[in-house]
A and B are shown apart, each in its own frame.
Chain A
Amino acid sequence: MYRDLRSFLTKLEEEGQLVHITDEILPEPTIREIGRAACDLPNGPAVMIENIKGHPGKRVVLNVHGSWANHALMLGMDKTATVKEQFFNLLEKWDRYPGEVKYVGKPACQEVVIKDNINIDEMLPMFRINAYDAGCFFSKASVVTKDLFDPDSLETENVGTYRLQVQGKDIIGIQALPFHDIARHVTKAEEMNKPLPIAICLGVDPVLTFMASTPINYDQSEYKYAAAINGIPCEIAKALTSNLDIPANAEYVIEGEIIPRQRFAEGPFGEFPGSYSGTRLQTRIKVKCITHRKDPIFENLFMGRPWTEIDYLLALNTCVPLYKQLKETMPEIVAVNAMYQHGLTAIVSTANRFGGYAKSVAFRLASTPHGISYCKNIILVGPDVDPFNLEQVMWSLSARVRPDKDVIVIPYTPGMPLDPTSEPPGMGGKFIIDATNPAPPDLILRETRLIDNPNSKGFEKIISDLQKKASVK
């Protein structure tokens, strides 16, 4: 589908999902105001900002993934596809892994090469994302590293999204948490006191960005997943200063090394739960080279109180792995909606094989690798309820929950440290609401008859077409 960011932007423009702001603006606070506005609008478009004071000719694009319409177009679907339809579409494409990678000799991302007088803030139109961030951050980079002891493997090569704080002309701080794949590479390099080559790739194809923020297994390749989902080979190339494989059509590639065995102040940064992280001692990158396409586009994202663009990159890619893990042993599972703050709140649609079964589904979710720390609030709904349709979920809570039997709190379980309620950080609890219809031998709800939905699909189309005609007049 999309070889690069540009071909996706062309598609967004054709579909009315890309707009351009051409008035002259200062980077702060205007770019964050634009980012917030774009994702607050229903089916908000991507926004290209084309006239930034002091940076003539440079462009910033925001909100590329920041609506369900854009997300559907990324998957090659109609922009009106429901979230549930997008979930099942992604599920189907997921099983095509591994896709093919193709090496490119003279990649577009190296059309322009800069090795001297590097100054990131003068070369890219950087901006402070939130007012109390410690500086300008890259919030949407695809960061590539390799295991120094497994240099030829594409599988253990990692492409991940980590926050990156520009701390000088050619210095970038990076947060690599212990449970991130990149931390394994950093640790091995530090044990040998060796610098770790790193490539920060900006403005790549939209599916690769999506996969870079997906928690796949350590030995699975993001490039091969992107190819599987895109349905075309993923074009990669060799970096100029290392053996790393980089997306051939990236807008910018910043190459450098992680300095071993030293830590520097980094943060705070406005993080995905909608609150600021603290200031900590973290690792740092020394930049050696910046390459870019001609007339490069700087893609970054605004993140604030949810929902903002980041939430679309932690949504269906959180749901699909959890669904697959549950489905392995629990075929009654229909769908999983774990879109809220990376799964801190999750809704599972399931049938009850027998009485109390849905509660076992909750325990299973709470013991998946991701669910152990993340899945705090777990809601179970029946197979007739779309877990992505919150009106239906609320109806289910209203009409099917018996508070004395269906609400469970489990204290003192693992928690997610960035969750502001995790106290001490890393400790948490589980809150389970079973809103499924009970099955024997559980007590059946007093006898009621649900209202059957009439066959309305035909008229949905007729009325929708009439509405479109009415709006044209």
Chain B
Amino acid sequence: MIPELEPERYELMAGPAYNFSFGRRGFFKALGGGLVVVSYAAKAQESGGGRGRGGRAMPKEIGAWLHIDEKGAVTVFTGKVEVGQNARTSLTASVAEELGAPLTSIELVMGDTERTPFDMGTFGSMTTPQMVPQLRRVAAAARQLLPAEPWEKIDFAAAAKTLVTAESGAGKFKATADWKVLGTPVHKVNRREMITGRHHYTSDIKLPGMLYGRILRPERFEAKLVSFDAGAVSNEVTVVRDGDFAGVAASSPTAAAEALAALKAEWKGEPQTSARTLFSDLKQTAQPSKDGSSIESGLGAADKRHSATYTIAYIAHAPLEPRAAVADWNGDKLTVWTGTQRPFGVQGELAEAFRIPEKNVRVLMPDTGSAYGGKHTGETAIEAARLAKAAGKPVKVVWTREEEFTWAYFRPGGVIDVRSGITKDGKLVAWEFHNYNSGSSGINTMYDVAARKVEFHPSKAPLRQGSYRGLAATANHFARESHMDELAAMAGIEPLEFRLRNLKDDRFRAALQAAADRFGWGRQKSGNGVGFGIAGGFEKGSYVAACAEVHCEQGRAPRVVRVVESFECGAILNPDQLKNQVEGSVIQGMGGALFESIEFEDGRILNARFSKYRVPRFRDVPAIDVVLIDRKDLPPAGAGETPIVTIAPAIANAIFAATGERIRSMPLNAPASAQPASAGAARL
């Protein structure tokens, strides 16, 4: 069985955070008087607060809460974090909607392990389907406790004279038809801080007496430190060696860099594989199939059969703010500011690393310079804390770009084998899909096919790998939607018509049709180096389709000139920010589609810099038209990830339409030597 939502299987999960002794009473007291509403999550999952394996949720776990002071200032506490996906704004708007309060009266405290309720983390597009309704319920409950007057007329001093606490169970939120704030293009609430440079990201934090830390990196992955000499380092610098960890902390970044360079170290490591043999390595080390079923009956009924192999390179998230942490010890109590999607997970990692109780560790997450699934783990926090412990002073560690490209984790590379069969009138009758290593997210086909077999095979990964925006849905959609295009060509049926003929799901059909209509699909014929491609997809509760126009010239990389992408995620909370996410996904997705690829050899990353690792820039951006489908009758689903999954196959299909050449590897612009060996087997 394939789970609907891929578990974050690559994460280095710390032990489950069972310790709940952070005092609820404590934070109520700190607020003084006022009105407090607490939400208790009925089920662990509801707060994104599943306790992982074993699922031992606290029966009455705080899911969210809200405080209104004597002046009507509203503070809302959530364990979710802001990394550019605009959760701060959508959650603020959700509370404003239910309270009838102005956006400016609401402040969100996010991702602070001491002040916010436990939250497993900000990933999986769960903020919208889970935290939005939870905060709306809490706000609705608060509204019921207040006089039924317009917000500006309420006497908050009277209403919130004493500490009132209430559970949110009774909170019933507004019908979509009654929305006044939700559904409108609310601006990013703290955008003024961003455009003035006033917002303090983790890397901007400076504490009194703070030192700057640098870490000594092994010369290749998994190497052991066999000799270490810090004799040439100034006495004013703190030097730490603890097993294979070594680092320095000094009074300025320059002094720290000099001290790092003065360390003499010898590493011993085992030879490792390279990107050149990646795809055969992944196939060879894959776990054998557990699924004994067969699609032979379907293939028997087919008039035409097809098989092809698709490959996906390792890529890096390359968030513009590299991982950073500031650690400050006070006795055996530790406070760490760090950009992480899992503040409570990092709290657990720190507690484990320093063998202290979790209640002694506070992790705070300032709104962070992006993550894209890449900032789940807490190594930078641990590094800063280790150095700070030795120095007896606060320490900041900001990874260099090279470190970020090397010592973070990567989106997994993978190999996908597809076998299929169609009847002569273009009906899909057999579908077999094997994904090696890249993951199972979005692996199931939405097309109707009686004989199907879909399987994910974990392999021995040559690099540290983890979550990435959309997880493996990008790889699986690339393979599936490329293959569907190949089948359409074999059947001699127009690609959109071929898809619709094999598709019953109305929401998927509507997404494809919406993109095609806006694009003017079918109005112009591909050819002479100009190609039009289409692809559709579904993942994490939302539907997406993309049409791309690509221009191909002999000897030059294909150029994407126009993209229309439709997106449907239920009722739209904020049309402009949703459009922003879709545009961003198209552009970021173009990087992985066209040119991003991590090159590695023998435990080293060969292109760990922006000058060697090409990311989308201004000149790469096509004309992008976003079509939002607003389904007010459906609950909102998350939107930060799924819009990324269809751009790669849309481009690949457009290149085929332009040139007749089918490229089955991501990135599409990779040299021919990187193409899968079996690709030539499928003749079209």
User: Are the chains A and B members of one assembly?
Assistant: no
